[in-house]
Structure formats: structure tokens, C-alpha cells
Amino acid sequence: MTDIDLSAGGKLLVVDLDLTALCGDEYGERWLSERSEQAFAAVRQAGNMVMVATARPPMTAFDLVQRIGASACAYHNGGVVDLDCEHSSLQELGDDQSTGNRNILRFGVPVERCVEVCHGLLAQIANLRIGIELNDTRYTNFDLTDVWPSQEYQLTDFSDMPSGMAQKIMMFPTGRQREKVRSLVPGDMSLLISEDVLWLLMNPKATKRNAMNLACDHFGIPVSNTIAFGDDLIDMDVLEHAGCGVAVANAKPEVKAIANEICPSNNGDGVAQWIEQHW
């Protein structure tokens, strides 16, 4: 166990949400426990900061970020970085045309380029389930409720897309489609895989590691004073780069292999337990 004293203050905790800070399983409901809320409150009261780093868009993460009391948040895996969560609004975060808040940074891809990539992929993989996320709206060529029953979407062939800066291209490839997608990733985008099934093409700067670095620069906290928590392959870059990387017990084997520490599972309030043990 690393010798970290949270009671001394001056640390930045970077926390993933799904299957890390949130209770719940891979396919069911997920929630923030009272124990975790209290742990994050104690962290803040001691003079530390909390940053949420999540694949979720603002529309499904904003309330959780507020309950955690995060000072910063990386939405869309770092595609949108909010460095002043206390004062930013959901409307500002979900509007790529909003420029009034200088503490909201965006690392997107022009919609026109996303459409070009989608058409190119579909020319090679005709039945690929694919979509573009823009301003908290998901435009897909399939019924998204087959994957996320509660999520709204707009069915499209990508010929009628509005203009703007998209947060990501999202795909759900299966079987042999996966290797084909890997071979077709364009050079100006990076491929991220979340929870094994959700494949993302994003701006290469849209990463949790880059978001953490931006937060450290903004708040004047050395990277050596950061502790990052995660469970998925998409969390590995920030866990490896942080001063201390902590994997929850339910994390992928590859994630646990590179972590400095392993805490109990998300359903055991593992992040909260780690905080309590380092108080």
C-alpha cells in the first residue's frame, strides 16, 4: 500500500464513474452510494480536489458530478473538459457552439469529417452499427434502445447531420467486424474501447490522461499528487500516468496488472474504502 495521507490535503483524485465509483453491474442500474458521497465530501473538506473522468456525456453524468462535488470533470472520456464544475451549466456543456465559459475545453471532430468516416466504414462493413454523438444527441443508423433501453436517439443515414463539432463516433462491432474496424481506423482519430462492446473514434487529445494534465495545470497540482481510479481498458492511460493508479477489484485483468494498488470492487464501495484507509 502506498504511503498517501489524504488528510494533509493538496491531492487530486481522478475517478471513473461506471463500475468504479458507482455501484451496479455491467448491464443493470448504477448508483452513487451514500458512503461514497460522504467519502468524497471528506476528501474535499481536507483540502483535496476530486475530478470525475467518465465516458458519459453531460446529460447522464452532470447530476452525479454535482453530488460528488467534483471541481473538474472529463466528459466523453476527455472530449469535453470542465475545469469549474461548480459554476458550469448543463446547457453550456451540451452545446458545442457555447464559447462564453473559458473553463470548458472541447476536443471534438468536425461533423463533416465524422460523416465521411462513417460512410467509409459502412462501405466496407455494411451492417456495422454506428453513430455520431453531437451536443448530447446520438445520431445512429440502428435502434440504440437495443443497447441502451433508456437512451434517446435519432435514426439517420448521416446525410442530414447538423453542422458542428462532434464528441465521438460510436460503434458496436461484433465478431469479425472488430478486426475490420481496427484496420480502418483513420490516422486523424484514436480508437478507444469501453466495457468491451462500445468502440469510439475520437480526437486524439480526448483522453482522460490529457484531461488530468489540464486539471493539474489549472489547479497547480503536481501530477505526482494525483490518484486515479478505474476499471476498464479506457482508464489505463490515466492510471499509468497518475502519481498512484488504483484499480477496483472488478477491473479488467490488464488494468489490475498496471495499477499500483487494487481496492475492493465497485459494489463494495471500493473507492470509498480506499479513501477511508488513507485518511
* Closest-CA residue to 36 (of 22, 16, 19): 22
How would residue 98 be classed by pLDDT, with cut points 50, 70 and 90?
Answer: low
Read off the pLDDT of each residue in 161-177 and give the average, rounded to a whole number: 95
In percent, how much of the chain has pLDDT > 70? Answer: 99
pLDDT of residue 47: 96
Across the chain, mean pLDDT equals 94
- pLDDT 10s digits, 50-79: 999 999 999 999 999 999 999 999 999 999
pLDDT of residue 2: 66
- pLDDT 10s digits, 179-208: 999 999 999 999 999 888 999 999 999 999
For the cut 80, the answer to whether the pLDDT of residue 99 exceeds it is no
pTM (predicted TM-score): 0.91
* Closest-CA residue to 163 (of 111, 97, 93, 95): 111
Read off the pLDDT of each residue in 19-44 and give the average, rounded to a whole number: 94
6-107+206-277, which class in CATH?
A: alpha beta
In percent, how much of the chain has pLDDT > 90? Answer: 86
Read off the pLDDT of each residue in 81-96 and give the average, rounded to a whole number: 92
Distance CA 96, CA 80 (A): 9
109-202, which class in CATH?
A: alpha beta
Domain residue extents for the chain: 6-107+206-277, 109-202
Q: Where are the beta strands (DSSP E) in 76-144?
A: 80-82, 104-106, 109-110, 130-134, 137-140
pLDDT of residue 69: 98
Q: Are 181 and 173 in contact (CB under 8 A)?
A: yes
For the cut 60, the answer to whether the pLDDT of residue 176 exceeds it is yes
190/25: higher pLDDT: 190
